[in-house]
Amino acid sequence: MDKPVDVVVMAAGKGTRMKSALPKVLHRLGGRALTAHVLDTAARVSARHVVVITGHGASEVEASLSTWTSDGACFGFQSLAVQGSAAGVQPAELAPQAAPQLQFVRQAPQLGTGHAVQQAIPVLPDDGITLVLSGDVPLTQADTLQDLLALCRGNGALTEPGLALLTLDMADPTGYGRIVRQPDGAVRSIVEHKDATDAQRQITEIYSGIMAVPTSRLRGWLARLDNDNAQGEYYLTDVVKFAVADDCPVRAHCITDAVQVAGVNSPQQLAELERAWQARIAGQMMAEGVRLADPARFDLRGHLRCGRDVEIDINCVFEGSVTLGEGVRIGANCVIANAVIADGAVIHPFTHIDGEKLGVKVGEGALIGPFARLRPGADLGAEVHIGNFVEVKNSTLAAGAKANHLAYLGDATVGERVNYGAGSITANYDGANKHRTVIEADVHVGSNCVLVAPVTLGAGGTVGGGSTITKSTPPGALSVARGKQVSIANWQRPTKNKS
Ligand code: UD1
Ligand code: MG
């Protein structure tokens, strides 16, 4: 059986160049903390334990990451999403994984990467492989790490387990640790830029910051580290020379995709990696059949699950947990968060949907927008129509109900086929409490009505335009509550004084 993998995530550094009060590793990429992506990757290589080394902003980092799950449950909206069209596909990157055991170890003060891993080593079992990752390097792919782990394990009789380094050839390697090789090509050491000779600085193969090593060997090598170098730090990279001295194989896995080992040190780098991540997710979604009008103008900041034949126009943002059923079409410039949108529904351009913790449900074949706003607890049945400048909050609309123009429905229960006129609102808040409005099936509410809750409009009734309804109305009746129209003949308007 393969040795189990235990991951150490270095996340103690300060991140001065972010110029932010937020610890660097909590800055968001695709809507999630940088280090949450690293934990996702650890889960994808079936890590047994993950030990996160914290330092700067330790309590904030620990509090944030302790809510991590690989299935997006951290968005607080998982239950409703699961009830949605279960058959949907999601980007491979976001598929749920078995969660490793997560543990935090503090490093104070921060005396270098070797010192960081020294803090974790007491909690790592000897029978595993330690995979060292950085909390600010979010886009490493699981396949790449599997290749590195295979190199670390060796292949049984032919090659023994050893130290495996992830490396990269870089046109401008300034600042990075260089991979120094013997004339026969064998790796001899890693020399940090600041300690390197001019000749060593010509080397373009750099150490990515990621290594895999049998934990029993690492333990011994870490005990031998010193800080006798240009930066006065305990360098993790010094374990390479100990491995060589101990005749332990050192192997390098050199990749060409720089994005996979790119770290975030500045807002510019964060934005670059954000675009790289979005491009990767968009590619995975299109591979699953989702039709994006322009993959460069698509943003996912959470989890998205799509049925067959989903079409998404340009400049849409999806946040939290969103499920789109079969044949759903999303118009341009929509922002959609924490919602389940059933098969065949159409969301027209410029619609804003955010279910927050309660979620939003849009029924089959519903038409929403343009310029609609669905807020938490909006639960719309099949074929419901919500038109421009209509806001719906904490309200249930049964099948076929329509509110097509300039209206507000808050804390309302709306029956089947109700037609809710332009400019009508539920007055649901008396300044202290919220009250419900019940509109039974087949009611027709005219334009510009105020329904003062609590109030019930009986089934099949009609409310005349411009009514302020303060008392419940009987079924089937026409209810009108407004000043009676009078006309005064030959009315003379006042005239202005001439002075
Ligand atoms: C390190 C490597 C270098 C490699 C580069 C790749 C060492 C000595 N050097 O350089 O060979 O090319 O990464 O990016 O390892 N951290 C801690 N505690 C510390 C110091 C750092 O947790 O005491 C964390 C940082 O937050 C960061 C990671 O370790 O996430 C790497 O540290 P950083 O200072 O960026 O690495 P370099 O010294 O630049
Ligand atoms: Mg450093």
Asked if 37 and 138 count as a contact pair (C-beta separation under 8 A), the reply is yes
Q: Which two tokens stand for residue 210?
A: 């990621």
Q: Which ligand is nearest to the CA of 111?
A: 1
- Which of 322, 297, 319, 318 lies closest to 307, judged by CA? 322
The residues facing 255 across adjacent strands are 168
Which atom in ligand 1 lies closest to the alpha carbon of residue 12?
A: 22
For the Cβ of 437 lying below 6 angstroms from any atom of ligand 1, the answer is no
Atom 21 of ligand 1, nearest CA residue: 113
C-alpha to C-alpha distance for 345 and 162, rounded to whole angstroms: 55
C-alpha to C-alpha distance for 84 and 342, rounded to whole angstroms: 7
Which atom in ligand 1 lies closest to the alpha carbon of residue 15?
A: 26
SS (H, E, C) 34-87: HHHHHHHHHHHCCCCEEEEEEECEHHHHHHHHCCCCCCCHHHCCHHHHHHCCCC
The angle that helices 142-153 and 34-44 make with each other, rounded to 10 degrees, is: 50
- For residue 385, the SS3 value is strand
Pocket test for ligand 1, best of 110, 111, 113, 189 (most atoms within 8 A of CB): 113
For the Cβ of 318 lying below 6 angstroms from any atom of ligand 1, the answer is no
Beta strands 291-292 and 311-312: pairing type?
Answer: parallel
- For residue 114, the SS3 value is helix
Give the residue numbers annotated as catalytic, written as ranges: 405
Q: Which ligand is nearest to the CA of 175?
A: 1
Torsion of CA 66, 72, 75, 80, to 10 degrees: -130
Which atom in ligand 1 lies closest to the alpha carbon of residue 10?
A: 22
Is the full-model pTM beyond 0.85?
Answer: yes
C-alpha to C-alpha distance for 416 and 395, rounded to whole angstroms: 13
Would you write out the chain's pLDDT as a tens digit for each of its 499 residues? Answer: 789 999 999 999 988 999 999 999 999 999 999 999 999 999 999 999 999 999 999 999 999 999 998 765 444 344 344 344 445 788 877 777 888 999 999 999 999 999 999 999 999 999 999 999 999 999 999 999 999 999 999 977 678 999 999 999 999 999 999 999 999 999 999 999 999 999 999 999 999 999 999 999 999 999 999 999 999 999 999 999 999 999 999 999 999 999 999 999 999 999 999 999 999 999 999 999 999 999 999 999 999 999 999 999 999 999 999 999 999 999 999 999 999 999 999 999 999 999 999 999 999 999 999 999 999 999 999 999 999 999 999 999 999 999 999 999 999 999 999 999 999 999 999 999 999 999 999 999 999 999 999 999 999 999 999 999 999 999 999 999 999 999 999 999 999 998 7
Q: Which two tokens stand for residue 109?
A: 């003060």
Ligand 2 centroid to residue 112 C-alpha, Å: 7
Eight-state DSSP code of residue 392: E
Domains of the chain as residue ranges with CATH: 5-261 (3.90.550.10), 267-479 (2.160.10.10)
User: What burial class does residue 54 get, using C-beta atoms within 10 Å of its C-beta: 0-12 exposed, 13-18 middle, 19+ buried?
Assistant: buried
- Which of 107, 123, 121 lies closest to 222, judged by CA? 121
Q: What is the DSSP string of 253-298?
A: EEES-GGGG----SHHHHHHHHHHHHHHHHHHHHHTT-EES-GGGE
Which atom in ligand 1 lies closest to the alpha carbon of residue 137?
A: 30
For the Cβ of 133 lying below 6 angstroms from any atom of ligand 1, the answer is no
